[in-house]
Structure 1
Amino acid sequence: MSASSESPARRLSGRDAKTLALASLGGALEFYDFIIYVFFTAAIGHVFFPASMPDWLLQVQTYGIFAAGYLARPLGGIVMAHFGDLVGRKRMFTLSVFLMAVPTLIIGLMPTYETIGYAAPLLLVVMRALQGAAIGGEAPGAWVFVSEHVPARHVGFACGLLTGGLTGGILLGSLMATAINSGFTPDEVIAYAWRIPFIVGGIFGLVAMYLRRWLEETPVFEEMRQLKATADELPLKLVLRHHGRAVIVSMLATWMLTAGIVVLILLTPGLMQKLHGIPATDTLLANVAATLTLTVSTVLVGILLDRFGPRIVAMVGGILLIVAAYALYIGPALDPALLLPIDALAGFCVGVIGIVPVVMVRAFPPAVRFSGLSFSYNVAYAISGGLTPLAVSLLVAVDPLAPAHYVAAVTVIGVAAVAFGTGRGHATRLSGLGAPAE
């Protein structure tokens, strides 16, 4: 049955379930591989740089290498999306796992500064750049892949489940870091145990790549190929020429996503330690709870999207996210014991970011969908994800509630973009193929 003739009332099939399961598993393992570095920056700094290097410079160098992965995201995502629109979604979807798994395994096995000198950090930069290129193609490619496989009325659930897999990768990284630091002494971690998470991640990434071989090309791309309806010129050029409104809406929605993830998930443990003197063990436990509830919430948000649409879910979810952000930065200041339950609630409310992939998938027609989504998402994430930690750290010195103010302001902008910037959009099938989004 062709994609365009498929009944909109079709239920999810066993084949759809296999596709969603393999895509979500691969996404979780890939995000685990990318994020695990941040949990072992201290150990990596000790073994990849000279012992005589001052601590402040060591931190700058180590986090600079971490940032290399983010800088490579837009370029990697755009290149992979280009070929994904021209030669197929499945090939790029599988390539992204390979590009992540191999560098991760190499990091776990590679010699340190003591063995090969400054070649060690240089090689580490190259591996992080490859990881960044992979992650730049993974999330956009995965959202496009699953949305074009399932019936149109289940796109929200498919994207929500996939997003839950991606955030689940962050949770896996946190749990692995906790296990390593609990099972080994600090000296053992520096000596060899830091390698374990990378080796495990690399091996499982290769397994995920093998499993993705059993996935099929999306019906949408197969129909485009049969009709010779793939883009006849550079897909990104078409995106920038005809789909400016879709790009702006997608970038503003992505800004809201980064505010929720970066501020309320990634930065909160450190900010709680700094602002309220809460022990690191307590903040990390609360963060695990927040990431777990976020993973569950993205799936629920996806289901609600299929029933009520992005506008209603964005407005209601946006209000809840703003309330949760202020509760998170007011409650623990009054009583540190409130951190765990409020952080878990905040993580659940961050799940409203599940609207972002659905909005982006619907914003672009199939012929340029991968390129449009990847360009908007990766460029916006690189800019806002890079500037958000700096902005919040500067603002928090003036006002302890600055993180909540920031999340609230960006959420209002993101919800407004979704509410007023999304029209009927393009179907996930071929209707409207190639037509401008405006």
Structure 2
Amino acid sequence: MSTDRTRTVEALPSAAPTTEEQRRVATRAVVAASVGNALEWFDIIVYASFAVVISKLFFPETSGVTALLYTFGAFGVSYLIRPLGAMVLGSYGDRAGRKAALTLTIAIMTVGTAIMGLAPTAATIGTGAGLLILLSRLLQGFSAGGEFGTATAFLIEHAPDRKAFYASWQVATQGASMFLASLFGFGLNSWLTTEQLESWGWRVPFLFGMLIGPVGFYIRSRMSETPDFVESETVKSPLWSTIGHHTGRVVTGAACVGLATISVYLILYMPTFAVKSLGLPASAGYLGGIISGLVTLVGVPYVGTLADRVGPVVIMRAATVAAIVLAWPMFALLVANPSIWGLTVVEVVLGIIMALYFGPLPALLSELFPTQIRTTGLSVSYNLGVTLFGGFAPLVLTWLISRTGSLMSPSLYYIAIALLSLVGLFVARSKYVIR
């Protein structure tokens, strides 16, 4: 097992020339990893985007902020189970292989999406409707707990070179999901009446998401295992090895995840913020999400290419400083002059920061952990960070605005997490010899 001062992943290109077959395998790995990742994020983003509608249909006994808190509470509870999914599925990936874990995660994920899309509302079955929502979120959270770590290890270990580039597709597909989910949100809110949206319209994106699952399962089941896993010796208890011997790496990784996850969930919160806090139409928050999704999808692979040249930390540190400097003035201008275009500009800037910071993150986290515990280490550190700083963000932001009465509180929360991530990057660079 490596020490804390040892680089633990083959982040630099191999001296041996890369063959066409290696590149074809790496490309297929990108497709296989991206399909499940797209499904996970599409479901998450759609749920957050339609939070106002879901709160009315599944928690009708409450109203206003309280119903929204229940809805985001169910959203947040799914993140409490993510660390459990990370430990179980991450360990499974280190013992049985990346391929086995990837096929299992997408199967569980598809079931969770199906429950959400087909769930009867409270008008049909009463309080049981809320419990179905909770079950859907728990299944989604458990599967998502193993998805990032396993898929990232799968990409890194299949990549013959340019590891940050190949790993960045894990983030680029999140941009595709943000684009599609925001497009659904914009279209459905623009073209359907309130009655149509609440009757059947909100189900359309979830039912669409259900179609991704079987395709992803088929693609993943036909992939080969990664060379690194085949050549490595498995450890008896990857979870114990990770938590018992690499606690510092897990905590550092979780801190580094902070700005990436809060950027995503702040963008997802914007449709709710637009309606509830700024008095803008329901479709207002989606335009920025559409553009931010495209920025992430198109821009992140270029960021990954740059990270292969200069190192992940250099790019992520610059993005963190930009987040700290820009957050307050952006929100101050938006709150003082609420408008669709102002909201869109804020979301696009957040999307650019997210792309610059999130793009190199998979490669950085992969450098923290050796092959024998890579999926466990990636899964636990990533989901610890997402649970603490991202999953409960919509709930925290709703509560902060309600409690303080200040529409500037989201920017302060964003800045606080960005500062924490800056510390994490410093530790990763200084203690663990990461570029």
Q: 1:176 aligns with which of 184, 190, 209?
A: 184
Equivalent-residue separation in structure 1 for 2:67 and 2:276 (angstroms): 21
Of 354, 357, 371, 2:359 maps to 354
Quickly say closer, same or farther: Cα 1:55–1:340, change in 2 above 3 A.
Answer: closer
Q: Give the TM-score normalised by the residue count of structure 1.
A: 0.84
The Cα offsets for residues 146-166 of structure 1, whole Å up to 9 and x where unpaired, read as 011102x41111121111102
Give yes or no for contact 1:77–1:137 (8 Å, CA) kept in 2.
yes
Tell me the equivalent position of 1:415: 422
Deviations 1:84-134 (A, max 9, x none): 110111111111111111221233234444544444333332222111111
Q: Is 2:265 the partner of 1:258?
A: no
Q: Which structure 2 residue ranges, 5 or more long, are not aligned?
A: 1-8
Equivalent-residue separation in structure 1 for 2:222 and 2:246 (angstroms): 34
1:309 maps to which residue? 311
**Partner of residue 244, structure 1:** 247
Q: Is the 8 A contact 1:310 1:418 kept in 2?
A: no
Residues 264-289 of structure 1 show CA distances to partners (whole Å, capped at 9, x for unaligned) of: x1234444566655544333312322
Residues 255 and 423, structure 2, Cα contact 8 Å, conserved in 1: no
After superposition, residues 15-414 of structure 1 pair within 5 angstroms as 15-48=25-58, 53-56=61-64, 58-151=67-160, 153-224=161-232, 229-232=233-236, 234-263=237-266, 265-271=267-273, 277-333=279-335, 336=339, 337-351=341-355, 352-386=357-391, 388-389=393-394, 392=397, 397=404, 401-414=408-421
Paired with 1:130 and 1:168, the residues of 2 have a C-alpha distance of 22
Alpha-carbon distance in structure 2 between the residues aligned to 1:339 and 1:294:
18
Once the two structures are superposed, residues 56-82 of structure 1 have per-residue CA deviations (whole angstroms, 9 ceiling, x without a partner) of 554444333323322221111211001
CA distance in 2 between counterparts of 1:169 and 1:345 reads 18
In 1: Cα distance, 2:273 partner to 2:62 partner: 24
Aligned length: 416
Q: Are the aligned partners of 1:293 and 1:345 in contact in 2 as well (CA < 8 Å)?
A: no
Paired with 2:254 and 2:158, the residues of 1 have a C-alpha distance of 24
Contact 2:52 2:272 in 1 (8 A): no
Percent identity, aligned pairs only? Answer: 30
Instruction: Supply the AA of the counterpart residue of 2:379.
Output: S
1:338: Cα distance to partner? 4.2
Mapped to 2, the partners of 1:104 and 1:403 lie a distance apart of: 29
TM-score normalised by L of structure 2: 0.85
CA distance in 2, matches of 1:123, 1:392: 25
Q: Which one scores higher on RCO, CA 8 angstroms, separation ≥ 6?
A: 2
Q: 321-330 or 66-75: which moved more?
A: 321-330
Return closer, same or farther for 1:131/1:304 CA change in 2, 3 Å cut-off.
same
CA distance in 1, matches of 2:122, 2:334: 42
Deviation at residue 144 of structure 1 after TM alignment:
1.2
Aligned AA (1:380):
G
* Counterpart residue type for residue 218 of structure 1: T
Query: Using the alignment, how far apart are the partners of 1:308 and 1:98 within structure 2?
Result: 38
Relative distance call for 1:348 and 1:78 in structure 2 (3 A) is same
Structure 1 residue 318: deviation in Å? 2.3
SS in 1 for 2:159: coil
Q: Following TM superposition, by how much is the alpha carbon of 1:39 offset from its aligned partner in structure 2, in angstroms? A: 3.0
- 2:265 partner letter: V
The residue type paired with residue 415 of structure 2 is A
Q: 1:339 to 1:128 in 2, by over 3 A?
A: closer
C-alpha distance in 2 between matches for 1:346 and 1:40: 20
Go from structure 1 to structure 2 and tell me whether the alpha carbon gap of 1:189 and 1:13 turns closer, same or farther (over 3 Å shift): same
User: For 2:90 and 2:38, how far apart are their aligned partners in 1?
Assistant: 20
Inter-partner Cα distance in structure 2 for 1:67 and 1:155: 32
Question: CA distance change for structure 1 residues 120 and 357 in 2, over 3 Å: closer, same or farther?
Answer: same
